[in-house]
Amino acid sequence: MNKRIVLLLAALIVSGPASAADVVVIVNTLATAPTREQLADIYLGRSRAFTPLDQSESRPIYVEFYQKATGRDLAQVKAAWSRIVFAGRGVAPREMASAAAMKAAVAADPKAIGYIDKADLDASVKVALTLN
Amino acid sequence: MSHADEGLVWAWSGFGTAGAVVTNTDGAQYRSSSRQSRGADKSPDAGVDSRLGLQANLNVGDTFSAVGQVLVSRGVDGMRPQLEWLFGQASVTPWLDLKAGRMVLPVFLVSDSRNVGYAAHWVRAPNEVYSLFPLTSFDGGQAQIRTDWAGTHFTLQASGGRSTVDIYGYGSKITVDVKKAYALNLLAERGDWTFRLGGVTTPDAKLKGLPVALPPVTDNFLGVGVIYDNGSQLVQGEYVIRRQGDGGAFDSDSYYVTAGQRWGAWMPYATYSRFVPKGDVLFVGSDRLATVAAGVRWDAFRGVAIKAQVESADVSATSFVNVSPALAGRRAKVTVFTLLADFVF
Protein backbone atom coordinates (compact mmCIF):
# COMPACT_ATOMS: atom_id res chain seq x y z
CA MET A 1 0.00 0.00 0.00
CA ASN A 2 2.80 2.39 0.94
CA LYS A 3 4.53 1.55 -2.30
CA ARG A 4 1.42 2.52 -4.24
CA ILE A 5 1.18 5.85 -2.48
CA VAL A 6 4.84 6.55 -3.24
CA LEU A 7 4.30 5.62 -6.89
CA LEU A 8 1.20 7.80 -7.02
CA LEU A 9 3.07 10.75 -5.54
CA ALA A 10 5.90 10.18 -8.00
CA ALA A 11 3.39 10.12 -10.87
CA LEU A 12 1.81 13.34 -9.61
CA ILE A 13 5.16 15.08 -9.42
CA VAL A 14 6.25 13.89 -12.85
CA SER A 15 3.06 14.40 -14.83
CA GLY A 16 0.63 16.40 -12.72
CA PRO A 17 -2.82 15.19 -11.62
CA ALA A 18 -4.55 15.51 -15.00
CA SER A 19 -2.61 12.80 -16.80
CA ALA A 20 -3.08 9.68 -14.71
CA ALA A 21 -2.20 6.09 -15.55
CA ASP A 22 -3.91 4.01 -18.21
CA VAL A 23 -7.68 3.82 -18.14
CA VAL A 24 -9.09 0.35 -18.67
CA VAL A 25 -12.60 -0.34 -19.93
CA ILE A 26 -14.09 -3.27 -18.06
CA VAL A 27 -16.92 -5.68 -18.83
CA ASN A 28 -18.35 -8.78 -17.22
CA THR A 29 -16.17 -11.90 -17.58
CA LEU A 30 -18.99 -13.43 -19.69
CA ALA A 31 -19.33 -10.44 -22.05
CA THR A 32 -17.85 -9.86 -25.50
CA ALA A 33 -15.70 -6.74 -25.63
CA PRO A 34 -16.94 -3.80 -27.75
CA THR A 35 -14.78 -2.06 -30.34
CA ARG A 36 -13.46 1.52 -29.91
CA GLU A 37 -16.23 2.81 -32.21
CA GLN A 38 -18.89 0.97 -30.21
CA LEU A 39 -17.43 2.30 -26.95
CA ALA A 40 -17.85 5.92 -28.11
CA ASP A 41 -21.43 5.17 -29.24
CA ILE A 42 -22.28 3.55 -25.89
CA TYR A 43 -20.93 6.46 -23.83
CA LEU A 44 -22.52 9.13 -26.03
CA GLY A 45 -25.92 7.43 -25.86
CA ARG A 46 -26.10 6.27 -29.47
CA SER A 47 -25.95 2.54 -28.76
CA ARG A 48 -27.72 0.40 -26.19
CA ALA A 49 -25.43 -2.62 -26.71
CA PHE A 50 -24.20 -2.15 -23.12
CA THR A 51 -25.40 -0.34 -20.01
CA PRO A 52 -22.70 2.28 -19.37
CA LEU A 53 -21.58 3.03 -15.81
CA ASP A 54 -19.84 6.28 -14.95
CA GLN A 55 -17.37 7.77 -12.54
CA SER A 56 -18.08 11.09 -10.87
CA GLU A 57 -17.42 13.99 -13.27
CA SER A 58 -15.36 15.69 -10.56
CA ARG A 59 -12.69 12.95 -10.82
CA PRO A 60 -9.76 13.35 -13.25
CA ILE A 61 -10.41 9.86 -14.67
CA TYR A 62 -13.82 11.04 -15.96
CA VAL A 63 -12.32 13.76 -18.12
CA GLU A 64 -9.49 11.50 -19.25
CA PHE A 65 -11.80 8.62 -20.15
CA TYR A 66 -14.19 10.72 -22.24
CA GLN A 67 -11.34 12.51 -23.99
CA LYS A 68 -9.77 9.20 -25.00
CA ALA A 69 -12.95 7.23 -25.66
CA THR A 70 -15.05 9.87 -27.43
CA GLY A 71 -12.78 12.84 -28.19
CA ARG A 72 -15.20 15.07 -26.24
CA ASP A 73 -14.57 17.26 -23.22
CA LEU A 74 -16.79 17.49 -20.14
CA ALA A 75 -19.08 20.20 -21.51
CA GLN A 76 -19.56 18.38 -24.82
CA VAL A 77 -20.42 15.12 -23.06
CA LYS A 78 -22.89 16.99 -20.84
CA ALA A 79 -24.45 18.60 -23.89
CA ALA A 80 -24.72 15.25 -25.70
CA TRP A 81 -26.46 13.61 -22.75
CA SER A 82 -28.76 16.56 -22.08
CA ARG A 83 -29.93 16.21 -25.70
CA ILE A 84 -30.94 12.60 -24.92
CA VAL A 85 -32.18 12.92 -21.35
CA PHE A 86 -34.38 16.00 -21.87
CA ALA A 87 -35.75 14.49 -25.06
CA GLY A 88 -37.02 11.61 -22.93
CA ARG A 89 -34.92 9.23 -25.02
CA GLY A 90 -32.83 7.77 -22.23
CA VAL A 91 -31.09 8.28 -18.92
CA ALA A 92 -27.47 9.31 -18.40
CA PRO A 93 -24.98 6.65 -17.25
CA ARG A 94 -25.32 5.75 -13.57
CA GLU A 95 -22.57 7.22 -11.43
CA MET A 96 -20.58 4.77 -9.30
CA ALA A 97 -19.23 5.85 -5.91
CA SER A 98 -15.84 4.18 -6.32
CA ALA A 99 -13.75 1.88 -8.50
CA ALA A 100 -14.77 -0.98 -6.19
CA ALA A 101 -18.45 -0.22 -6.72
CA MET A 102 -17.82 -0.03 -10.49
CA LYS A 103 -16.17 -3.46 -10.50
CA ALA A 104 -18.92 -4.99 -8.35
CA ALA A 105 -21.64 -3.64 -10.67
CA VAL A 106 -19.85 -4.91 -13.81
CA ALA A 107 -19.19 -8.30 -12.19
CA ALA A 108 -22.91 -8.61 -11.41
CA ASP A 109 -24.31 -7.67 -14.85
CA PRO A 110 -23.25 -9.12 -18.24
CA LYS A 111 -24.68 -6.00 -19.96
CA ALA A 112 -22.76 -3.50 -17.81
CA ILE A 113 -19.63 -1.66 -18.95
CA GLY A 114 -17.38 0.60 -16.92
CA TYR A 115 -13.94 2.13 -16.69
CA ILE A 116 -11.31 2.29 -13.95
CA ASP A 117 -7.68 3.14 -13.42
CA LYS A 118 -5.53 0.19 -14.48
CA ALA A 119 -4.10 0.10 -10.93
CA ASP A 120 -7.56 -0.84 -9.58
CA LEU A 121 -7.94 -3.85 -11.89
CA ASP A 122 -8.57 -7.34 -10.50
CA ALA A 123 -9.87 -10.72 -11.70
CA SER A 124 -13.54 -9.99 -10.93
CA VAL A 125 -13.91 -8.23 -14.30
CA LYS A 126 -12.52 -8.49 -17.82
CA VAL A 127 -10.52 -5.83 -19.62
CA ALA A 128 -12.35 -4.88 -22.83
CA LEU A 129 -10.04 -2.08 -23.96
CA THR A 130 -7.04 -0.19 -22.65
CA LEU A 131 -7.09 3.53 -23.37
CA ASN A 132 -3.71 5.20 -23.35
CA MET B 1 -29.85 13.00 -8.61
CA SER B 2 -31.31 9.52 -8.34
CA HIS B 3 -32.63 7.15 -5.77
CA ALA B 4 -32.99 3.39 -5.97
CA ASP B 5 -35.46 1.33 -3.98
CA GLU B 6 -36.78 -2.16 -4.70
CA GLY B 7 -36.24 -1.92 -8.48
CA LEU B 8 -37.82 1.53 -8.62
CA VAL B 9 -35.31 4.12 -9.75
CA TRP B 10 -36.31 7.74 -10.00
CA ALA B 11 -34.22 10.66 -11.10
CA TRP B 12 -34.95 14.32 -11.49
CA SER B 13 -33.12 16.86 -13.54
CA GLY B 14 -33.65 20.22 -15.10
CA PHE B 15 -32.61 22.69 -17.73
CA GLY B 16 -33.14 26.32 -18.43
CA THR B 17 -32.17 29.52 -20.15
CA ALA B 18 -31.86 33.02 -18.75
CA GLY B 19 -31.14 35.92 -21.04
CA ALA B 20 -32.37 38.92 -22.95
CA VAL B 21 -32.94 40.05 -26.52
CA VAL B 22 -32.77 43.59 -27.89
CA THR B 23 -33.16 44.92 -31.44
CA ASN B 24 -32.50 48.15 -33.34
CA THR B 25 -36.15 48.99 -34.01
CA ASP B 26 -39.35 49.84 -32.16
CA GLY B 27 -41.41 49.04 -35.27
CA ALA B 28 -41.66 45.30 -34.61
CA GLN B 29 -41.03 42.87 -31.76
CA TYR B 30 -38.75 39.87 -32.12
CA ARG B 31 -40.11 36.56 -30.82
CA SER B 32 -38.79 33.00 -30.69
CA SER B 33 -42.10 31.24 -31.26
CA SER B 34 -45.47 31.93 -32.87
CA ARG B 35 -46.91 31.26 -29.39
CA GLN B 36 -45.56 34.57 -28.15
CA SER B 37 -47.76 37.67 -28.26
CA ARG B 38 -44.95 40.11 -27.59
CA GLY B 39 -41.20 40.28 -27.92
CA ALA B 40 -38.06 42.37 -27.93
CA ASP B 41 -37.59 45.79 -29.53
CA LYS B 42 -35.24 48.62 -28.52
CA SER B 43 -36.16 47.77 -24.92
CA PRO B 44 -34.43 44.53 -23.87
CA ASP B 45 -36.86 41.67 -23.30
CA ALA B 46 -35.99 38.77 -20.97
CA GLY B 47 -39.02 36.68 -21.92
CA VAL B 48 -38.12 35.71 -25.51
CA ASP B 49 -35.78 32.84 -24.66
CA SER B 50 -35.87 32.50 -20.86
CA ARG B 51 -37.40 29.24 -19.72
CA LEU B 52 -37.14 26.55 -17.08
CA GLY B 53 -37.75 22.83 -17.48
CA LEU B 54 -38.03 20.26 -14.72
CA GLN B 55 -38.05 16.58 -15.50
CA ALA B 56 -38.67 13.42 -13.51
CA ASN B 57 -37.72 9.96 -14.76
CA LEU B 58 -39.05 6.80 -13.13
CA ASN B 59 -37.71 3.38 -14.03
CA VAL B 60 -39.43 0.21 -12.88
CA GLY B 61 -37.04 -2.63 -13.51
CA ASP B 62 -35.55 -2.77 -17.00
CA THR B 63 -38.85 -2.78 -18.87
CA PHE B 64 -41.07 0.06 -17.69
CA SER B 65 -40.27 3.74 -17.38
CA ALA B 66 -42.08 7.05 -17.23
CA VAL B 67 -40.99 10.61 -18.00
CA GLY B 68 -42.67 13.83 -16.95
CA GLN B 69 -41.53 17.31 -17.90
CA VAL B 70 -42.93 20.69 -16.90
CA LEU B 71 -41.77 23.68 -18.91
CA VAL B 72 -42.18 27.31 -17.94
CA SER B 73 -41.86 29.63 -20.94
CA ARG B 74 -43.54 32.56 -22.62
CA GLY B 75 -46.75 31.74 -24.49
CA VAL B 76 -49.78 33.70 -25.65
CA ASP B 77 -50.74 34.59 -22.07
CA GLY B 78 -47.22 35.30 -20.81
CA MET B 79 -44.83 33.21 -18.74
CA ARG B 80 -46.77 30.07 -17.82
CA PRO B 81 -45.95 26.49 -16.83
CA GLN B 82 -47.22 23.73 -19.06
CA LEU B 83 -47.04 19.98 -18.92
CA GLU B 84 -44.73 19.43 -21.88
CA TRP B 85 -44.48 15.64 -21.60
CA LEU B 86 -45.87 12.85 -19.50
CA PHE B 87 -45.53 9.41 -20.96
CA GLY B 88 -45.07 5.82 -19.99
CA GLN B 89 -42.75 3.55 -21.89
CA ALA B 90 -42.45 -0.20 -22.16
CA SER B 91 -39.22 -1.57 -23.60
CA VAL B 92 -40.87 -4.72 -24.91
CA THR B 93 -37.68 -6.06 -26.48
CA PRO B 94 -34.21 -4.49 -26.82
CA TRP B 95 -35.30 -3.21 -30.26
CA LEU B 96 -38.91 -2.16 -29.58
CA ASP B 97 -40.20 0.59 -27.28
CA LEU B 98 -43.88 1.43 -26.93
CA LYS B 99 -44.88 4.81 -25.49
CA ALA B 100 -48.22 6.31 -24.52
CA GLY B 101 -49.12 9.70 -23.13
CA ARG B 102 -47.97 13.20 -23.99
CA MET B 103 -44.68 13.35 -25.89
CA VAL B 104 -42.77 15.26 -28.52
CA LEU B 105 -43.98 15.24 -32.12
CA PRO B 106 -40.83 14.66 -34.22
CA VAL B 107 -41.46 17.27 -36.92
CA PHE B 108 -37.90 18.56 -37.21
CA LEU B 109 -34.35 17.33 -36.69
CA VAL B 110 -33.98 18.68 -33.14
CA SER B 111 -37.67 18.91 -32.18
CA ASP B 112 -37.08 16.80 -29.11
CA SER B 113 -34.30 18.96 -27.65
CA ARG B 114 -35.36 22.35 -29.02
CA ASN B 115 -36.02 23.84 -25.58
CA VAL B 116 -32.73 22.60 -24.15
CA GLY B 117 -30.39 25.42 -25.08
CA TYR B 118 -27.44 23.73 -23.38
CA ALA B 119 -27.67 20.85 -25.86
CA ALA B 120 -27.16 23.16 -28.85
CA HIS B 121 -24.46 25.54 -30.05
CA TRP B 122 -26.85 28.36 -31.05
CA VAL B 123 -29.11 30.56 -28.92
CA ARG B 124 -32.22 29.07 -30.56
CA ALA B 125 -33.29 26.93 -33.49
CA PRO B 126 -33.89 29.06 -36.64
CA ASN B 127 -37.41 30.50 -36.75
CA GLU B 128 -37.64 30.10 -40.54
CA VAL B 129 -37.86 26.34 -40.03
CA TYR B 130 -38.88 25.79 -36.41
CA SER B 131 -41.74 28.32 -36.32
CA LEU B 132 -43.53 26.48 -39.13
CA PHE B 133 -45.11 24.05 -36.73
CA PRO B 134 -46.13 25.50 -33.35
CA LEU B 135 -47.25 22.20 -31.81
CA THR B 136 -44.43 20.74 -29.77
CA SER B 137 -46.08 17.82 -28.02
CA PHE B 138 -49.03 15.57 -28.78
CA ASP B 139 -51.26 13.17 -26.87
CA GLY B 140 -51.18 9.67 -28.27
CA GLY B 141 -48.93 6.71 -28.85
CA GLN B 142 -45.58 5.95 -30.39
CA ALA B 143 -43.73 2.81 -31.43
CA GLN B 144 -39.97 3.01 -31.69
CA ILE B 145 -37.80 0.42 -33.39
CA ARG B 146 -34.02 0.47 -32.96
CA THR B 147 -31.59 -1.65 -34.89
CA ASP B 148 -27.89 -1.71 -35.71
CA TRP B 149 -26.82 -2.56 -39.23
CA ALA B 150 -23.34 -2.33 -40.73
CA GLY B 151 -22.08 -0.14 -37.89
CA THR B 152 -24.99 2.29 -38.20
CA HIS B 153 -27.67 2.83 -35.55
CA PHE B 154 -31.17 3.18 -36.96
CA THR B 155 -34.17 4.48 -35.03
CA LEU B 156 -37.63 4.48 -36.58
CA GLN B 157 -40.49 6.18 -34.76
CA ALA B 158 -44.14 5.90 -35.76
CA SER B 159 -46.43 8.30 -33.88
CA GLY B 160 -50.13 9.06 -33.85
CA GLY B 161 -52.28 11.34 -31.74
CA ARG B 162 -53.84 14.78 -31.33
CA SER B 163 -52.68 18.19 -30.25
CA THR B 164 -53.85 21.75 -29.63
CA VAL B 165 -51.88 24.94 -29.14
CA ASP B 166 -52.61 28.67 -28.92
CA ILE B 167 -50.53 30.90 -31.16
CA TYR B 168 -50.65 34.66 -31.71
CA GLY B 169 -51.23 36.36 -35.04
CA TYR B 170 -53.26 39.18 -36.63
CA GLY B 171 -53.38 40.81 -33.22
CA SER B 172 -55.28 38.00 -31.55
CA LYS B 173 -55.10 34.49 -30.18
CA ILE B 174 -55.48 31.71 -32.74
CA THR B 175 -56.01 28.12 -31.72
CA VAL B 176 -54.33 25.45 -33.83
CA ASP B 177 -56.44 22.34 -33.39
CA VAL B 178 -55.04 19.12 -34.82
CA LYS B 179 -57.42 16.23 -34.20
CA LYS B 180 -55.23 13.71 -35.96
CA ALA B 181 -51.48 13.82 -36.43
CA TYR B 182 -49.36 11.01 -37.82
CA ALA B 183 -45.58 11.08 -37.98
CA LEU B 184 -42.82 8.82 -39.24
CA ASN B 185 -39.28 9.65 -38.26
CA LEU B 186 -36.11 7.81 -39.28
CA LEU B 187 -32.75 8.53 -37.68
CA ALA B 188 -29.46 7.01 -38.79
CA GLU B 189 -26.41 7.59 -36.59
CA ARG B 190 -22.93 6.54 -37.58
CA GLY B 191 -19.85 7.86 -35.83
CA ASP B 192 -19.83 11.64 -36.17
CA TRP B 193 -22.82 11.67 -38.55
CA THR B 194 -26.55 11.87 -37.90
CA PHE B 195 -29.11 11.71 -40.71
CA ARG B 196 -32.81 12.30 -40.38
CA LEU B 197 -35.75 11.76 -42.70
CA GLY B 198 -39.23 12.45 -41.39
CA GLY B 199 -42.76 13.27 -42.36
CA VAL B 200 -45.83 14.52 -40.52
CA THR B 201 -49.39 14.67 -41.81
CA THR B 202 -52.33 16.28 -40.03
CA PRO B 203 -55.47 15.40 -42.04
CA ASP B 204 -57.89 17.67 -40.18
CA ALA B 205 -55.99 20.76 -39.04
CA LYS B 206 -58.14 23.73 -38.01
CA LEU B 207 -57.23 27.30 -37.24
CA LYS B 208 -59.77 28.89 -34.90
CA GLY B 209 -59.85 32.64 -34.34
CA LEU B 210 -58.62 33.82 -37.75
CA PRO B 211 -60.16 37.05 -39.13
CA VAL B 212 -61.29 34.98 -42.14
CA ALA B 213 -62.58 31.48 -41.49
CA LEU B 214 -60.60 28.83 -43.34
CA PRO B 215 -61.78 25.28 -43.98
CA PRO B 216 -59.83 22.46 -42.29
CA VAL B 217 -56.74 21.48 -44.25
CA THR B 218 -54.40 18.54 -44.53
CA ASP B 219 -51.06 19.94 -43.46
CA ASN B 220 -48.02 17.91 -44.55
CA PHE B 221 -44.39 18.29 -43.60
CA LEU B 222 -41.45 16.44 -45.10
CA GLY B 223 -37.98 17.09 -43.76
CA VAL B 224 -34.42 15.93 -44.20
CA GLY B 225 -31.58 16.83 -41.89
CA VAL B 226 -27.95 16.08 -41.27
CA ILE B 227 -25.51 16.74 -38.44
CA TYR B 228 -21.76 16.27 -38.64
CA ASP B 229 -20.01 16.76 -35.30
CA ASN B 230 -16.51 15.41 -34.82
CA GLY B 231 -15.94 17.17 -31.51
CA SER B 232 -14.13 20.12 -33.12
CA GLN B 233 -16.18 20.98 -36.19
CA LEU B 234 -19.95 21.08 -36.35
CA VAL B 235 -22.01 21.33 -39.53
CA GLN B 236 -25.78 20.98 -39.44
CA GLY B 237 -28.46 21.53 -42.05
CA GLU B 238 -32.12 20.90 -42.56
CA TYR B 239 -34.63 21.28 -45.41
CA VAL B 240 -38.36 21.19 -44.73
CA ILE B 241 -41.14 21.14 -47.30
CA ARG B 242 -44.66 22.09 -46.18
CA ARG B 243 -47.64 21.37 -48.43
CA GLN B 244 -51.33 21.72 -47.71
CA GLY B 245 -52.88 20.07 -50.74
CA ASP B 246 -54.97 22.20 -53.12
CA GLY B 247 -53.71 25.78 -53.19
CA GLY B 248 -52.32 25.57 -49.70
CA ALA B 249 -52.14 29.02 -48.17
CA PHE B 250 -49.15 28.18 -46.01
CA ASP B 251 -47.09 26.06 -48.45
CA SER B 252 -43.39 26.71 -48.11
CA ASP B 253 -39.86 25.44 -48.43
CA SER B 254 -37.56 26.27 -45.54
CA TYR B 255 -34.00 25.49 -44.77
CA TYR B 256 -30.98 26.44 -42.76
CA VAL B 257 -27.33 25.59 -42.59
CA THR B 258 -25.16 26.23 -39.56
CA ALA B 259 -21.49 25.61 -38.85
CA GLY B 260 -19.23 26.06 -35.87
CA GLN B 261 -15.66 25.50 -34.77
CA ARG B 262 -14.64 24.62 -31.21
CA TRP B 263 -11.50 26.02 -29.63
CA GLY B 264 -11.48 24.69 -26.10
CA ALA B 265 -14.40 26.25 -24.24
CA TRP B 266 -15.20 28.63 -27.11
CA MET B 267 -17.27 27.89 -30.15
CA PRO B 268 -17.97 30.58 -32.72
CA TYR B 269 -20.67 29.70 -35.25
CA ALA B 270 -22.73 31.11 -38.09
CA THR B 271 -26.20 30.25 -39.34
CA TYR B 272 -28.07 31.08 -42.54
CA SER B 273 -31.77 30.31 -42.63
CA ARG B 274 -34.40 30.95 -45.25
CA PHE B 275 -38.15 30.73 -45.74
CA VAL B 276 -39.47 30.53 -49.31
CA PRO B 277 -43.28 30.77 -49.66
CA LYS B 278 -44.71 28.34 -52.21
CA GLY B 279 -48.38 29.20 -51.87
CA ASP B 280 -50.70 32.11 -51.19
CA VAL B 281 -48.98 32.82 -47.92
CA LEU B 282 -51.21 34.78 -45.59
CA PHE B 283 -48.87 35.41 -42.77
CA VAL B 284 -45.86 37.01 -44.39
CA GLY B 285 -45.62 40.30 -46.18
CA SER B 286 -42.77 39.61 -48.55
CA ASP B 287 -41.81 36.83 -50.90
CA ARG B 288 -38.56 35.60 -49.42
CA LEU B 289 -37.33 35.76 -45.87
CA ALA B 290 -33.88 35.10 -44.54
CA THR B 291 -31.85 35.46 -41.38
CA VAL B 292 -28.08 35.60 -41.15
CA ALA B 293 -26.72 34.99 -37.67
CA ALA B 294 -23.32 34.78 -36.05
CA GLY B 295 -22.56 33.97 -32.45
CA VAL B 296 -20.35 32.30 -29.91
CA ARG B 297 -20.89 29.68 -27.24
CA TRP B 298 -18.65 29.79 -24.18
CA ASP B 299 -18.69 26.84 -21.78
CA ALA B 300 -17.96 29.05 -18.81
CA PHE B 301 -18.78 26.78 -15.88
CA ARG B 302 -19.75 23.17 -15.32
CA GLY B 303 -23.27 22.85 -16.73
CA VAL B 304 -23.46 26.49 -17.82
CA ALA B 305 -22.95 27.83 -21.34
CA ILE B 306 -22.97 31.55 -22.08
CA LYS B 307 -23.92 32.58 -25.60
CA ALA B 308 -24.04 35.79 -27.58
CA GLN B 309 -25.61 36.05 -31.02
CA VAL B 310 -26.22 38.85 -33.48
CA GLU B 311 -28.49 38.38 -36.47
CA SER B 312 -29.97 40.28 -39.33
CA ALA B 313 -33.56 39.14 -39.87
CA ASP B 314 -36.22 40.04 -42.43
CA VAL B 315 -39.37 41.23 -40.71
CA SER B 316 -41.94 38.45 -40.93
CA ALA B 317 -44.61 36.76 -38.84
CA THR B 318 -42.28 33.82 -38.21
CA SER B 319 -39.86 35.91 -36.15
CA PHE B 320 -41.79 39.10 -35.35
CA VAL B 321 -45.02 40.21 -33.74
CA ASN B 322 -46.80 43.56 -33.32
CA VAL B 323 -45.34 44.82 -36.60
CA SER B 324 -46.09 48.50 -37.20
CA PRO B 325 -47.81 49.48 -40.48
CA ALA B 326 -44.63 51.34 -41.45
CA LEU B 327 -42.61 48.10 -41.45
CA ALA B 328 -45.32 45.66 -42.52
CA GLY B 329 -45.52 46.74 -46.13
CA ARG B 330 -41.87 46.64 -47.09
CA ARG B 331 -38.87 44.37 -46.85
CA ALA B 332 -37.28 45.53 -43.65
CA LYS B 333 -34.22 44.11 -42.00
CA VAL B 334 -33.84 44.19 -38.25
CA THR B 335 -30.68 43.55 -36.26
CA VAL B 336 -31.25 41.37 -33.23
CA PHE B 337 -28.85 40.91 -30.31
CA THR B 338 -29.13 38.03 -27.85
CA LEU B 339 -27.15 37.35 -24.68
CA LEU B 340 -28.08 34.38 -22.54
CA ALA B 341 -26.95 31.58 -20.27
CA ASP B 342 -28.08 28.00 -20.80
CA PHE B 343 -27.83 25.60 -17.89
CA VAL B 344 -28.56 22.02 -16.91
CA PHE B 345 -28.73 20.51 -13.46
The 10s digit of each residue's pLDDT in B304-339 is: 999 999 999 998 878 999 999 888 767 789 999 999
The 10s digit of each residue's pLDDT in B91-136 is: 999 899 999 999 999 999 999 999 999 999 999 999 999 998 888 8
Those of residues 120-159 in B touching chain A at CB distance below 8 A are 120, 146, 148, 151, 153
Residues of B in contact with A62 (CB under 8 A): none
Residue A132 has a pLDDT of 83
What does the alpha-carbon distance between residue B40 and residue B24 come to, in Å, rounded to a whole number?
10
Residues of B in contact with A41 (CB under 8 A): 153, 189
Nearest-Cα distance to chain A for B231, in Å, is 6
Q: Quick check: ipTM above 0.85? A: yes
Interface test with A, best of B147, B299, B301, B307 (most A CBs within 10 A): B299
Residue A1 has a pLDDT of 46
Mean pLDDT computed over A58-62? 93
What does the alpha-carbon distance between residue A73 and residue B329 come to, in Å, rounded to a whole number?
48
Secondary structure class of A79 (helix, strand, coil) = helix
**Do B118 and A82 lie within an 8 Å CB cutoff?**
yes
Per-residue CA distances from B157 to B79, B161, B189, B225, B296 (Å): 32, 13, 14, 16, 33
Residue of A nearest to B2 (CA): A94
The CATH number of the domain covering residues in B2-344:
2.40.160.10
Among residues B69, B107, B72, B97, the alpha carbon closest in space to that of B85 is found at: B69
Residue A121 has a pLDDT of 95
Among residues A78, A79, A87, the alpha carbon closest in space to that of B84 is found at: A87
Instruction: Give the residues of chain B that fall short of pLDDT 50.
Output: 1-5
B94 touches chain A (CB under 8 A): yes
pTM above 0.95, yes or no: no
Q: Domain coordinates of chain B in residue numbers?
A: 2-344
Domains defined for chain A, CATH in brackets? 20-131 (3.40.190.10)
Nearest-Cα distance to chain A for B228, in Å, is 13
Residue B278 has a pLDDT of 84
What distance lies between CA B319 and its chain's CA centroid? 13
Residue type, B77: D
**Do A46 and B189 lie within an 8 Å CB cutoff?**
yes
Q: Which residues of A touch B (CB under 8 A)?
A: 37, 40-41, 46-49, 57, 70-72, 74-76, 78-80, 82-83, 85-89, 91, 94
Nearest-Cα distance to chain A for B223, in Å, is 19
Per DSSP (E only), the strands in chain B are 2-5, 8-23, 29-30, 51-60, 64-75, 78-93, 96-104, 137-149, 152-169, 172-190, 193-208, 217-229, 233-243, 252-261, 266-277, 289-301, 304-314, 320-321, 333-344
Per DSSP (E only), the strands in A43-105 are 51-54, 94-95
Residue A16 has a pLDDT of 45
The 10s digit of each residue's pLDDT in A96-127 is: 999 999 999 999 999 999 999 999 999 999 99
> In this structure, are residues B320 and B299 in contact, taking their beta carbons and an 8 Å threshold?
no
What does the alpha-carbon distance between residue A96 and residue A113 come to, in Å, rounded to a whole number?
12
Return the number of other C-beta atoms located less than 10 Å from residue B34's C-beta. Answer: 25
Residue A12 has a pLDDT of 47
Give the dihedral of Cα atoms B291, B294, B299, B305; nearest 10 deg.
Answer: -30
What does the alpha-carbon distance between residue B327 and residue A4 come to, in Å, rounded to a whole number?
73
Nearest-Cα distance to chain A for B146, in Å, is 9
> In this structure, are residues B121 and B258 in contact, taking their beta carbons and an 8 Å threshold?
yes
